[in-house]
């Protein structure tokens, strides 16, 4: 059911510093900051030959990333994102297997302009999983 790894998301306490680290220390191609108000984050994508890194920074007072950073002040891996062909079919299959879809269960539009869903980390070995329709 899952396809390729779309990205690994890292929550960061200082977006500008993190971008400079990837740009200067690692020589990566770093995109422009992009506000995602529906998800409460500002994101920056770092392009790699085989996938992307997504830097996450809190946007607004109710950002879910702020809670993560409160527990992990230095930041850290927040989630991994896999592509799926049909997000609704994937959701239905996962729910039938007992996996919990976070939120309303209806896909939202993500940072790439495609439908996304998140799966409860307790159902996936402590890892928050994002599914994005390919």
Residue of 47, 61, 106, 130 marked catalytic? 130
Report, as an integer, the average pLDDT of 1-20: 97
Domain boundaries, given as residue ranges, for the chain: 2-133
| pLDDT band for position 98 (cuts 50, 70, 90) | very high
Residue 93's pLDDT band (boundaries 50, 70, 90)? very high
Instruction: Give the count of beta carbons closer than 10 Å to the beta carbon of residue 105.
Output: 12
Q: Are 123 and 99 in contact (CB under 8 A)?
A: yes
Which band of pLDDT confidence, cut at 50, 70 and 90, is reported for residue 61? confident
2-133 architecture in CATH? Roll (3.10)
Average pLDDT on 90-96 reads 97
Mean pLDDT, rounded, for 101-107? 95
Q: Does the annotation mark 61 as catalytic? A: no
């Amino acid at each position: 059911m899952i396809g390729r790894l779309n990205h690994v998301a890292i929550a960061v306490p200082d977006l500008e510093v993190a971008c400079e680290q990837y740009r200067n220390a690692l020589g990566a191609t770093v995109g422009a900051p992009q506000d995602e108000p529906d998800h409460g984050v500002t994101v920056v994508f770092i392009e790699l030959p085989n996938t992307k890194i997504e830097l996450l920074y809190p946007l607004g007072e109710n950002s879910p990333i702020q809670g993560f950073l409160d527990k992990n002040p230095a930041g850290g891996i927040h989630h991994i994102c896999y592509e799926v062909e049909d997000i609704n079919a994937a959701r239905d299959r996962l729910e039938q297997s007992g996996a919990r879809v976070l939120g309303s269960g209806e896909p939202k539009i993500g940072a790439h302009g495609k439908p996304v869903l998140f799966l409860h980390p307790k159902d996936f070995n402590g890892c928050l999983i994002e599914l994005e329709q390919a």
